[in-house]
Structure 1
Amino acid sequence: MVMPSSDTPALAFDDFVIDFAGRRLLRGGQALALEPKAFSVLALLAQGPGQAFTRDEILDAVWGHRHVTPGVLNRIMTLLRHALGEEAQAPRYLHTLHGVGYRFDLPAPHLPGASAEASVEERRHAAERRTSMSPTVPATTSRRGWWPRAALVLVLVVALLGTGVWFKRQVWVARPAPPSPAGAVATPTLIVMPLKPIGGRADGDIAAGLSDELISALARIQGLRVIARESTSLATVQPAEVATLVSRLGISHTLEGSLRQSGEQLRIHLRLNDARNGRTLWTQDYDRNANDVLALQREVAQAVATALTLKLGLAKVPAQKGGDAGFLRRYFAAQALLRTPASAAGEAVERAETEFRQLVQLRPYDARAHAGLAVALDMRAFSRPPLAAGLRAEAAQEAALAQRLDPSLADPYRVQASAACRGNRWEDCVRLFEQAGAAAPSDSQPYFQYAMALAALGYLDRAEALMRHNIERDPLNPSWRFGHGRLLDTLGRHEQARAQLELGRPFAPYARWFNAVWRKDYAQAAAIADKLGDSVDSPAYERLYKPSYVAATGALRDPSLWPQVETELRASERETGLMNFLRVLAPEAPAHAPALIAGLDQVRERSYSSWDLLLWTRDLAYLRKDPAFQDYLRDNGLLAYWKRHGFPKQCRPHADGAACD
């Protein structure tokens, strides 16, 4: 990658400094946590302010011509914007050039006496004059012009001395780039409606499965925003929701269609509409044998992109045969079992595992069948702790086999990423989740798990930003509201968390209970505890834990009742074999911090929900003040990772460990 010369080892702007030599981004003198690839992208763009870089140029320069899907760069740009404190909709430094790539701009400098209404051309000439200044002031400088220039140099020198960065010759201040062209076209936003089966019930499975495949394929197109699968499914249950999404998210186009099956022949009819006026822009019929239906997704994606007049950026997905119609139907049905509501998840996952095993026997070289089996095994390990080791070992084998057969599939990366996180192999954890998200941009699961992995690493701000970003692309999915609310509570932003958790109802009432406790709204906490497990759809563990939540709510009002809570805590722990996390609220909890930290670490190693976030919760600072927390950071590799990639915002180096607020 081309880097600035040794004469310009750093770039200062606003309160940021890009330290190229030290590969650091500093703000106000503090180093920000930034992944190595993210810094490389920033350095590439910043070495030529105002210069447009295509996506291919960035990928080639930073990733070295290796096959990388476009979603990887999208995620890196999101992380950079978060680090620089800006949003994609209102960029100050990083500008998206739709259909081209990205450009880094420096803010126009403010000159004494300059009018706020100064033209772009005037600011450009002013920047040129500023760029040409020398750090030393010539003896012939007039009294009138000396002070502004000297003050500017002094401010830059002091700022850089404070960060430990010194320029060999002069401060590098590049001129701002020209503004974006007027009238730039907004990014097209597409919602893919589920294909309507025409014929017998059997067509429904293929129609639903192909709809998911189309969403996944279209989500890889550069310059096209596609509503994620979960929100699409929820929106299309009620037609009114689609209309709401059109206005709320600025949906510009809808893709609708139908599927008819006659024996082994499929006819797929697709229609692209302008969502704002209902006008049909493009229509097409496809007649294919069922063996070709999975390869059909790429052809359709390209046709839709052409109709939208977009530059194509599809990942190189190998054309593959999907098997006969019966095989496809069974595959899609097994996939659907893995998305069954929580109340029946255990039974459904076991059925999915059985089905995927049979599909693997039918077609030993079908990558998707092996990937599905890997996911099912990994999910079973979560619900069957005594069998977890064996199930996860087999899941790893199946994931590796699926990956060898087809490296473009997302599920194998996700299974491997989860294993890496549990094993404290954080470099692999981050890399594999990046690959999983890039391979399936429309799938919420890898992004959600990646955000939780960042939170487990202590990067709470980055995790929260990722949750917020995915709410925009998947607004009806309650899991994002739940995750966002949990992270906001962890950060101490309880009122904002309450709003998100309410939007995610009835998902995870225990999260709303803790939020009410943090806000000291014990009346609401009591109401939530009283209703735990009442619904027929409630998972069994809610009914199991209800007595402890009811008792804890009373004890928060009257601390003399905590002995009764202890009785309920022990009863639930005997049933589950896991610590009851209400213990963190007990009056004597600080004295038992080492045991609580160990219990929360056990939860993280099991990938058990979001309970390990309690370790980072602002309201539970006593956990991070205990010496056992330092052992946790060292033993689990967090401290070593931070030293390589930067400390989280709430932590800083201290002695041979870290001090975390």
Structure 2
Amino acid sequence: MSSPAHELRFGDTTIDFTGRRLWRAGEEQALEPKAFAVLALLAAEPGRVFTRDEILDAVWGHRHVTPGVLNRIVTLLRHALGEDAHHPRVLHTLHAVGYRFDLPVASESTTGDDVPELTPRTRRRTVPAALWYVALLVATSAVFAWWWSSSRTITTRPVPPVAAAVAPPTLVVMPLKPIGDGESVRIIADGLGEELICSLAQVEGLRVIARDSTRLATDASADPATLVQRLGITHALEGNLQQAGQSLRVRLRLVDAHGGGTLWTKDFDRDASEVLLLQRDIAETVAGSLALRLGLTEAPSRSGDAEFLRRYHIARALVSLRDLPPEASTERAEREFRALLRERPDDARAHAGLALSLEIRAQRRPTLATTLREEAVREATLAQRLDPTLAEPYFVLAANACIADDWARCLSLQERALHVNPSNAEMGFGLTLSLARLGYLDRAEARARELQARDPLGRNGGFMMARVLDTLGRHDEAHRLLQPLPAYAAYARWFNAVWRKDYAGALRIAEAEIGGPNHPDAYAKRLAPGYVAASEALIDPSRWPHAVAEFEAYEKATGMANFSRVLVPGAADNAAPLIEELNEVRQRGYSTWDLLLWTKDLAYLRRDPAFQRFLRDNGILAYWRAHGFPVQCRPEGEGAVCD
């Protein structure tokens, strides 16, 4: 590593103020721009206590920021500095006051004439300079939303193993075991276990493993040592649910996953109508035992009785079943939510569930999308007004803003949804995809790594990370993530094999996976002949006319594009309609196909004049001008050039 000017060194750590980088043990630590701005402010004046308000004013201008945002940033900084919150070396918390940065005795700084020395005798003079520097950082950072933007640093290293002394505590919420044989108690136990993941994810400084990864890991083994290895957890919460009429009893045990010891065992008793209070009781107990704080402060409202709760959880589970036909999943869920709202018109969760089911129906029924989305927005707005702590309304409103190319609102709402429920993998997936759709691939990668840490085994974490890596041209890394994923990832696996020039492997995927019996996509059987023909043509180019004929047959039968067309020799001459079709997929809001527009291997798409129209007509160029260009793009004339 070279030694840039204006840097501060201590131990194995270097803060490069000019380059806005943090190095530790010879490796660059990925930091969000806001996180580095906070670090720069504190490190510019070692020994000074900055109050929380001073930090929020200097870095955020105190706009659209909740106290939990600063807590999250400090957690990221401790992670990057290798700090333990309970035994800090340089970054100290003064409870109810703020933060202080202390340098070890043996440290050195390299400064220029325009940067004050970091010594006690000049400390008084550095206050305006420090604040001016942070303001400059903020003004030049590419800021996407109210409080949260991802790092511009691209790292090719895999995610390191989670270490309890460095990373925040990581919790897995084991599925609750129902006590009794009734179907009702099983449904409530399943639903309550999932909602506990959401409630506990709101504990500041605690990482909670997402639902899908939890289920996949615990289905295989409930052994703590195995869960530590597969999920990187430090703690596990396990227990059971017992129902007696309208009364619910949840018996829980918090376990130290590394040592296997029980930290506490406790019973939580509530009426079924107080299930939200029950969740809060549990979250507060877990937070207190880990010396953390529950982020949300609003008192939850009452819910319906046990039967209402059972029906709500059935409907909510149906919304998540994306592999079933709409009439068997989201449309059934929609009918149930409407029935629940007839009984309890002011139930916020039922309104949120209805909004989500309408949005998913809109994605799957494009001919009805406009009408469905109008109602989804009304329901989401009402749910948000009734209970602003629910994530689904922000998710639905964000989806509509994204489709309308209102990128600032799109990202800020997605960030709000993720702030409310950090361990909801679908929320993380949506924000990561939006960043990638705007061309901010480095920030999408940083966001995807956090998603992968919370959902290491689920379909959202590994799949989204792989899609971003393939888009960046890092196909070997993507291949390792795609290999263990089930049948839904077959299309991505096929393209990855093509990018790696493993054409024989692509043919096997086309025949056995896309054309196989287990693919959940209803169109897979029709698409398979085109993928098989394209694989054969990549092996023997003389077969391309046959492949194109298969594409045309599929498109004529379905009215949908086969995006294997991007690989056809001479495809650059047909770039304009390909760009238009990929953008239509984006506007439907249901897939990641449009990331082909940013794929390194398909630079011809970005060189075509139609790409300039795409940037202009969809508000992307205007957003870049206001918030900063992606690292691979630069302004040129009235448009932009992207590598």
Q: Distance in 1 between matches of 2:504 and 2:249?
A: 58
Paired residues of 1:231 and 1:475 also in contact (CA < 8 A)? yes
Q: Are residue 70 (structure 1) and residue 51 (structure 2) matched?
A: no
Q: Are residue 479 (structure 1) and residue 444 (structure 2) matched?
A: no
Q: Which residue of structure 2 aligns with residue 243 of structure 1?
A: 225
Q: Are residue 521 (structure 1) and residue 502 (structure 2) matched?
A: yes
Of 179, 185, 190, the match for 1:208: 190
Q: Distance in 2 between matches of 1:582 and 1:201?
A: 46
Q: Which residue of structure 2 aligns with residue 402 of structure 1?
A: 383
TM alignment of 1:336-355, pairs within 5 A: 336-344=317-325, 347-355=328-336
Of 558, 570, 592, the match for 1:588: 570
Q: Are residue 260 (structure 1) and residue 245 (structure 2) matched?
A: no
Q: Secondary structure at the match of 2:168?
A: coil
Q: Secondary structure at the match of 1:319?
A: coil
| Cα shift at 1:63 | 6.3
Q: Which residue of structure 2 aligns with residue 6 of structure 1?
A: none
Q: Distance in 2 between matches of 1:75 and 1:122?
A: 26
Moved more, 411-420 or 567-576: 567-576
Residue identity in the other structure for 2:338: R
Using a 3 Å threshold, how does the CA distance of structure 1 residues 122 and 299 change in structure 2: closer, same or farther?
Answer: closer
Q: Are residue 443 (structure 1) and residue 424 (structure 2) matched?
A: yes
| Cα shift at 1:526 | 0.5
Using a 3 Å threshold, how does the CA distance of structure 1 residues 561 and 132 change in structure 2: closer, same or farther?
Answer: closer
Deviations 1:507-528 (A, max 9, x none): 3201010011111111000000
Deviations 1:571-617 (A, max 9, x none): 22123322221111111211111111111111111113110000001
Deviations 1:213-262 (A, max 9, x none): 22211112123222222211222212257532213554232211111111
Deviations 1:384-420 (A, max 9, x none): 1111111111111111111111111100100111111
Using a 3 Å threshold, how does the CA distance of structure 1 residues 554 and 629 change in structure 2: closer, same or farther?
Answer: same
Q: Distance in 2 between matches of 1:587 and 1:76?
A: 51
Residue identity in the other structure for 2:66: V
Q: Are residue 652 (structure 1) and residue 634 (structure 2) matched?
A: yes
| Cα shift at 1:539 | 2.2
Paired residues of 1:95 and 1:102 also in contact (CA < 8 A)? no
Of 529, 536, 549, the match for 1:567: 549
Deviations 1:286-316 (A, max 9, x none): 22211111211111111222223x1324212
| Cα shift at 1:96 | 6.7
Q: Secondary structure at the match of 1:337?
A: helix
Q: Which residue of structure 2 aligns with residue 140 of structure 1?
A: none
Number of residues of Structure 1 aligned to a counterpart in Structure 2 = 576
TM alignment of 1:127-166, pairs within 5 A: none
Q: CA RMSD in A?
A: 3.6
Using a 3 Å threshold, how does the CA distance of structure 1 residues 372 and 543 change in structure 2: closer, same or farther?
Answer: same
TM alignment of 1:16-415, pairs within 5 A: 41=38, 44-45=41-42, 48=45, 58-59=55-56, 62=60, 64=62, 68=66, 70=68, 74=72, 87=80, 120-123=104-107, 187-199=168-180, 200-239=182-221, 242-308=224-290, 310-344=291-325, 347-415=328-396
Q: Distance in 2 between matches of 1:555 and 1:333?
A: 47
Residue identity in the other structure for 2:493: R
| Cα shift at 1:125 | 9.0
Of 598, 601, 615, the match for 2:597: 615
| Cα shift at 1:325 | 0.4
Q: Secondary structure at the match of 1:298?
A: helix
Q: Which residue of structure 2 aligns with residue 602 of structure 1?
A: 584
Residue identity in the other structure for 1:330: R
Q: Distance in 2 between matches of 1:601 and 1:650?
A: 20
Deviations 1:332-391 (A, max 9, x none): 111111122514455211111111111111111011101100110110111111111111
Q: Distance in 2 between matches of 1:522 and 1:353?
A: 44
Using a 3 Å threshold, how does the CA distance of structure 1 residues 16 and 551 change in structure 2: closer, same or farther?
Answer: same
Q: Secondary structure at the match of 1:578?
A: coil
Residue identity in the other structure for 2:107: R
Residue identity in the other structure for 1:426: W
Q: Distance in 2 between matches of 1:439 and 1:626?
A: 41
Using a 3 Å threshold, how does the CA distance of structure 1 residues 126 and 652 change in structure 2: closer, same or farther?
Answer: closer
Q: Distance in 1 between matches of 2:106 and 2:256?
A: 42
Q: Which residue of structure 2 aligns with residue 138 of structure 1?
A: none
Q: Which residue of structure 2 aligns with residue 4 of structure 1?
A: none
Q: Distance in 2 between matches of 1:241 and 1:517?
A: 39
Q: Which residue of structure 1 aligns with residue 448 of structure 2?
A: 467
Q: Secondary structure at the match of 1:397?
A: helix
| Cα shift at 1:486 | 1.2
Larger Rg: 1
Residue identity in the other structure for 1:307: S
Q: Secondary structure at the match of 1:540?
A: coil
Q: Distance in 1 between matches of 2:43 and 2:485?
A: 40
Using a 3 Å threshold, how does the CA distance of structure 1 residues 37 and 428 change in structure 2: closer, same or farther?
Answer: farther
Paired residues of 1:490 and 1:616 also in contact (CA < 8 A)? yes
Q: Secondary structure at the match of 1:520?
A: coil
Q: Secondary structure at the match of 1:236?
A: helix
Paired residues of 2:247 and 2:270 also in contact (CA < 8 A)? yes
Residue identity in the other structure for 2:225: A
| Cα shift at 1:122 | 4.1
Paired residues of 2:56 and 2:70 also in contact (CA < 8 A)? no
Q: Distance in 2 between matches of 1:467 and 1:290?
A: 37
Deviations 1:195-216 (A, max 9, x none): 1111212101111121122221
Q: Secondary structure at the match of 1:534?
A: coil
Q: Secondary structure at the match of 1:285?
A: strand
Q: Distance in 2 between matches of 1:537 and 1:125?
A: 58
Q: Which residue of structure 2 aligns with residue 419 of structure 1?
A: 400
- Could you state the TM-score of these two structures normalised by the residue count of structure 1? 0.79
Paired residues of 1:60 and 1:66 also in contact (CA < 8 A)? no
Residue identity in the other structure for 1:244: T
Using a 3 Å threshold, how does the CA distance of structure 1 residues 240 and 305 change in structure 2: closer, same or farther?
Answer: closer
Residue identity in the other structure for 1:616: W
Q: Secondary structure at the match of 2:486?
A: coil
Paired residues of 2:240 and 2:252 also in contact (CA < 8 A)? yes
| Cα shift at 1:54 | 6.8
| Cα shift at 1:430 | 0.9
Q: Which residue of structure 2 aligns with residue 173 of structure 1?
A: none
Q: Which residue of structure 2 aligns with residue 630 of structure 1?
A: 612
Q: Distance in 2 between matches of 1:365 and 1:600?
A: 40
Using a 3 Å threshold, how does the CA distance of structure 1 residues 452 and 565 change in structure 2: closer, same or farther?
Answer: same
Paired residues of 2:7 and 2:111 also in contact (CA < 8 A)? no
Q: Secondary structure at the match of 2:352?
A: helix
Paired residues of 1:235 and 1:242 also in contact (CA < 8 A)? no
Residue identity in the other structure for 1:461: D
Q: Distance in 2 between matches of 1:374 and 1:415?
A: 7
Moved more, 246-255 or 405-414: 246-255
